[in-house]
Amino acid sequence: ATPTSIMVGTGRAAELGVLFRKGQALQTLRNTKVVALDKTGTLTKGQPELTDLTVTAGFDKSQVLAQVAAVEQHSEHPIAQAIVAEAKAQQLNIIGPQAFKSLSGLGVCAEVGGQKVEVGADRYLVKLGYELSALSQQAEQLAQQGKSPLYAAIDGKLAAIIAVADPIKEGTPEAITALHQLGLKVAMITGDNKHTAQAIAKQLGIDEVVAEVMPNGKVAALKKLRKQYGAVAFVGDGINDAPALAEANVGLAIGTGTDIAIEAAEVVLMSGDLRAVPNALAISQATLRNIR
């Protein structure tokens, strides 16, 4: 491509809210075969709400929610914010926890009022030695509705199953349809439950799902997609997404996401609207067509 055609292309993209930090990316983007997207905060709003809370025998719903919220108030995860918001809405007393610990990609734990509280994904509680079969059928049902199931244990006993739901962003369904029309495959990479991820992918018509990925596993997932399909563009917003944004043939960060993700990306989508992704791809294809 000539410098002029690249300038025209990047200018046109900027008008549509797509910032090319390097003109080179406009050319690389054209070779994309598969677009992989992070789920939370990228395909979805990243603002989940608590939808379900079921306690096991001997536990009180409000008390469990207050204890779990006490732990989650120290976590940055969107799931944590959903739980704390619900406890506050119910005007529960959220006390300060002791010995708070956050295990990336798994969950959180702390002492609350002298009791050990552990909250997180099924794989976290399994790792801690809990038997989840009493609640696993319910977890699967919640996941099939696109909700993310979490487990809570209090003082060494399985206490509750909690579900949070994160609405799909406006523009996401149209963006995926447009990517398909451009002849691309679309994949989702997420740390979330596989049944939840599959339910959301099905709803959106996403071709490939890689779920229950640990934060350091996104790069491996991406390499696998590249082997299967060819050049990969990755779209993400979180700190966890930075290595995948750097590894992708082209990394596209959501401008409203974390600075670390933006710094790792070559392309920045100024708004969170994913329709910018097929727009950027269409511009890259058109730019290089014009100069042939």
Site residues for ligand ADP per CB under 6 A: 39-40, 72, 75, 77, 79-80, 105-108, 119-121, 148, 150, 190-192, 215, 238, 240
Judged by CB under 5 A, the chain residues 237 through 276 that form the site for Mg ion are: 237-238
* Closest residue by beta carbon to Mg ion: 41
Q: Both tokens of residue 40?
A: 């939370």
32-40, 68-76, 210-218, 247-255 -> range binding Mg ion (CB under 5 A): 32-40
Q: Please, which residue, 97 or 257, has the CB nearer to Mg ion?
A: 257
Task: Choose the one of ligand ADP, Mg ion, none that binds residue 237, judging by a C-beta under 5 to 8 angstroms depending on kind.
Answer: Mg ion
Sole residue written with tokens 């992989």: 36
**Catalytic center residues:** 38
Task: Assign 3-class secondary structure to the chain.
Answer: CCHHHHHHHHHHHHHCCEEECCCHHHHHHCCCCEEEEEHHHHHECCCCEEEEEEECCCCCHHHHHHHHHHHHCCCCCHHHHHHHHHHHHCCCCCCCCEEEEEECCCEEEEEECCEEEEEECHHHHHHCCCCCHHHHHHHHHHHHCCCEEEEEEECCEEEEEEEEECCECCCHHHHHHHHHHCCCEEEEECCCCHHHHHHHHHHHCCCEEECCCCHHHHHHHHHHHHHHHCCEEEEECCHHHHHHHHHCCEEEEECCCCHHHHHHCCEEECCCCCCHHHHHHHHHHHHHHHCC
Q: Closest separation between CB of residue 289 and ligand ADP, Å? A: 36
34-42, 165-173, 262-270, 271-279 -> range binding Mg ion (CB under 5 A): 34-42
Q: Closest separation between CB of residue 80 and ligand ADP, Å? A: 4
Q: Please, which residue, 9 or 251, has the CB nearer to ligand ADP?
A: 251
Q: Closest separation between CB of residue 184 and ligand ADP, Å? A: 22
Q: Closest separation between CB of residue 125 and ligand ADP, Å? A: 10
Q: Closest separation between CB of residue 230 and ligand ADP, Å? A: 25
Q: Please, which residue, 240 or 287, has the CB nearer to Mg ion?
A: 240
Q: Please, which residue, 7 or 168, has the CB nearer to ligand ADP?
A: 168
**Phi-psi label, residue 41: left if phi above 0, alpha if psi -120 to 50, beta otherwise:** left
* Closest residue by beta carbon to ligand ADP: 191
Among 38, 118, 122, 166, binds Mg ion (CB under 5 A): 38
* Residue ranges binding Mg ion (CB under 5 A): 38, 40-41, 237-238
